Structure 1
Amino acid sequence: QAEVIFLGQFRHEHLLKLLGYCCEDEERLLVYEFMPRGSLDNHLFKRISATLPWGTRLKVAIGAAKGVAFLHGGKQPVIYRDLKASNILLDSDFTAKLSDFGLAKLGPEGEETHVSTRVMGTHGYAAPEYVQTGHLTVKSDVYSFGVVLLELLTGRRAMEHVPGRTARAEQTIKLVEWTRPYLASSRRLRCIMDQKLSGHYSVKGARAMAHLAVRCTNPQPRDRPSMAVVVEELEQLEGLKDMAVSMGLFWPTAPAAGRNALSAKFRAEMKGAGTGAVPRRRTASANLS
């Protein structure tokens, strides 16, 4: 019902098109446009997919941001509430479109500051104030978008499990917390950039995106930017040509001695951050309810 209500009345290039639906007796069917590239989740985290180049990641980020900004920009804003990589679908040209409006909610009216609702969404993406109080605002979506930006930068999921020697020793790592010490400096940022990029990314663009992600995931909702501002800042990153690989910043392209030294330093930094080594982690994608 929520899908029909929201997608039935909204049309935007970055929202998935609802072509039709069936609601007869026990038959429930929704028909959408076909998205041949699947979800952003598949491209970032599934080994079967080719690596998304930096320019494509930026294009996806801008498209998703425009979709959310459109939802927030109406007379009564729509709060998407479940913004995550698996809900960002890609067409043949890697144009991003938001899907799955089952948790979408109309925002506050008049002088109201928030909507109170049962906490729903996905662990790792949901804003902390929403999880704690059930108070939902457009800034809740901004936080979730900040997490998606971190996923685009690092190639790691919003929440992952690091296996220990025993089940009790297993750690749950939140991407927002894990990346925070590395986002303020370009030098440290390169240590957590997605290795699948092989150094082919804009240094200035990555730094600016990291700074934007920090602001979007600010613990204080009032200090997060609006999605309109997010779109504007991301669009300014298009066309940047400074690539990390040409500057020798990314360790897989460095000589063996330097690569080994930086790798050891990276492991030490990870240990200092409380995560230990950084193996590929099992995902934790449980929904909130």
Structure 2
Amino acid sequence: MGNSLSCCSRYADRISTEGDSAAVISFSSSELSAYTNGFSAKNLLGHGGFGSVYLGNYNGMLVAVKVSRQIDTKTRLQWQAEIKYLPNVIHRNIIKLVGYCNTPEKLYLVYPFMQNGSVKRKLSELDWNKTLKIIRGAARAIQELHCHSPPLVYRDLKLDNLLLDKDFTPILADFGAVTPEGEVLRLGTSGYTDPIVMNNGPGTKPNDIYSLGVMILQLIMKEKVVSFPGSSVPWHITHWASTIHSAKGHAVHQKLTTTGCSKVAAIAITELGLDCTHPKMSERPNISEVLRRIINLQ
């Protein structure tokens, strides 16, 4: 299945923004402090694995300023990955790195502010049109990485790392786990990450496809990844979706059709999510096959 199409075949509606690229700015910590009102609590947007995120105003542009919680080996590697890879993968569905700062005490990263936050926070509000737009955008972002030279693997695809701009365009962010394909690095999020990677396997394109499949299933089922609704027994969303789909998938399809999705599209997108999470990597579709299967869904 994974070899049915060349991984990097392109689509006419793929939108790239290479002409909009600009130099990444090296900020001073005092500049970033001024942009965020001294990293005021009123400007605090939240906390993540890297550290805290503050709202800033840089020359009239709203920005999100990430400040490391500490400087250890893992944090520095994440910071370096963002600076190394983001400027080289300019795409409509990938976050732009505005700038960075490096001090003995803290590491900083600056991005455009995304008005609608993460997809995870909006999950229950998404109708079918928005859901399909998010799936397509995420797939195009992954295609951009997989078609890079050398191929890059994202390694930590999940709804928390997909942001939404004012038009609900999905933007892939948090590039701290990105590596060239084949590199062994134990990163990712349990539930989303391919079990093969969690067992210290080398990062490959099919690993990202697995995570994309988990994300697709979560988007259409509107459920958590590792808990079965109404049960205290741990249950992965792939097992639940597979069980339901084997029984004609009425529960999933009915939930989707209430959001404006046709029954044909509901069946197709459920099958795609399950194919992407196939236990055998060789049976998963590559990213071009994924895009081919969703490009004409309505």
Same fold (TM over 0.5): yes
CA distance in 2 between counterparts of 1:90 and 1:235 reads 20
Q: Measure, in 2, the Cα distance between the counterparts of 1:129 and 1:219.
A: 9
Alignment of 1:115 onto 2:183: yes
Q: What amino acid maps onto 1:154 in structure 2?
A: M
Q: Which residue, out of 88, 95, 99, partners 2:162?
A: 88
Q: Secondary structure at the match of 1:32?
A: strand
Q: Following the alignment from structure 2 to structure 1, what is the Cα–Cα distance between the partners of residues 145 and 96?
A: 14
Q: In the alignment, which residue of structure 1 is the partner of 2:271? A: 211
Partner Cα separation in structure 1 for residue 142 and residue 265 of structure 2: 21
- After superposition, give the CA deviation of every residue in 1:58-114 in whole Å (9 maximum; x if it has no partner): 01100010000110012211100000011011111111111101111111xxxxxx3
- Cα separation, 2, equivalents of 1:124 and 1:94: 25
For 1:139, the equivalent position in structure 2 comes to 206
Q: Aligned with 1:89: secondary structure? A: strand
TM-score, normalising length from structure 2? 0.69
Residues 34-49 of structure 1 correspond to what in structure 2 (within 5 A)?
34-44=113-123
Q: How high is the sequence identity, in percent, across the aligned residues? A: 32
Rounded Cα–Cα distance in structure 1 between residues aligned with 2:256 and 2:275? 25
Give the partner amino acid of 1:123.
S
Contact 1:154 1:193 in 2 (8 A): no
For residues 1-289 of structure 1, the aligned pairs below 5 Å read 1-44=80-123, 51-107=125-181, 114-117=182-185, 119-160=186-227, 170-184=232-246, 188-193=248-253, 195=255, 198=258, 200-237=260-297, 240=298
Instruction: Report the count of equivalent residues.
Output: 219
- 3-state SS in 1 of match to 2:251: coil
Q: Partners in 1 of 2:165 and 2:245 — Cα distance?
A: 31
Could you tell me how far apart the structure 2 residues matched to 1:104 and 1:5 are?
10
Within 1, Cα distance between the matches of 2:134 and 2:254?
16
Gap runs ≥5 in structure 2: 1-79
> Runs of 5+ in structure 1 lacking a partner?
46-50, 108-113, 165-169, 241-289
3-state SS of 1:121 partner: coil
**What is the TM-score of this pair, normalised by structure 1?**
0.71
Inter-partner Cα distance in structure 2 for 1:215 and 1:192: 16
SS of equivalent to 1:225: coil
SS at match of 1:148: helix
Name the SS of the counterpart of 1:94 in structure 2: coil
- Secondary structure (helix, strand or coil) at the match of 2:109 reads strand
